[in-house]
Amino acid sequence: MMFILLLINKYNNRKKNKQIKRTTNLIMIQVLEERSEGQQQQQYEIDGVQLRIWEEVANQYRQEIQSMQLQLWQNSVDKLFQKCNGVPKKYLQKLKIMMMGKSNRQCSICCNQFQKDELIMQLPCKHIYHKSCVDSWLQSSTKCPNCRSDVLEALKDQEK
């Protein structure tokens, strides 16, 4: 378009006709307007691309924040239920685990007899159970299934 503009200007210089001058001026204005619109459109395209990039970045951060909020909430709920329901794992590890010898006793949780060389666990109140049975029991309760003594409190007292 610049080339056309220069040709028209040269032609205009040679011919001093007012009609040609007016036409040339109109063409020049039109060329300038088109160039200006093209630059604005190009600027809008650049701004649009930049805007889309920033929107993507914002969405990624938003998703990351939401994920972290969910994890924090789940951890808080887990800790709340862990405190309210069962014995925490760090205390379960302090319970005495043994191998069962010859006996005719039975586990009062599952009501099965203890077998020789079976893993058993003794609570602070001295009651014994299958390890798997009492592990499951203490995930949802802090009390001994037989005497209802508080296992968690007894383990905390032993710690002191």
Tens of pLDDT, residue by residue over 36-47, are 555 555 555 566
Between residues 15 and 53, the one the model is more confident about: 53
Cα–Cα nearest to 126, from 141, 111, 146, 100: 146
Q: Return the pLDDT at 39.
A: 55
Tens of pLDDT, residue by residue over 118-133, are 999 999 999 999 999 9
Q: 34: Cβ–Cβ under 8 A, 6 or more apart, which residues?
A: 1
Least confident of 58-62, 76-80, 97-101: 76-80
Whether 122 and 100 have beta carbons less than 8 Å apart is answered as no
The model's pTM is: 0.47
Is pLDDT of 156 > 80? Answer: yes
Architecture of domain 89-159: 2-Layer Sandwich (3.30)
Split at pLDDT 50, 70, 90, the class of 71 is confident
Q: Return the pLDDT at 67.
A: 86
Is pLDDT of 1 > 50? Answer: no
Residue-range domain boundaries for the chain: 2-84, 89-159
Whether 142 and 151 have beta carbons less than 8 Å apart is answered as yes
Mean pLDDT of 75-84: 66
Q: Return the pLDDT at 138.
A: 92
Cα–Cα nearest to 96, from 148, 151, 153: 151
Measure Cα distances from 3 to 11, 26, 64 in Å. 12, 16, 54
**Angstrom distance (rounded) from CA 68 to CA 99:** 44
Q: Return the pLDDT at 52.
A: 81
Which phi and psi (to 5°) does residue 110 adopt? Answer: -100, -10
Is pLDDT of 141 > 70? Answer: yes
**Averaged pLDDT score across all residues of the chain:** 77
Q: Return the pLDDT at 43.
A: 54
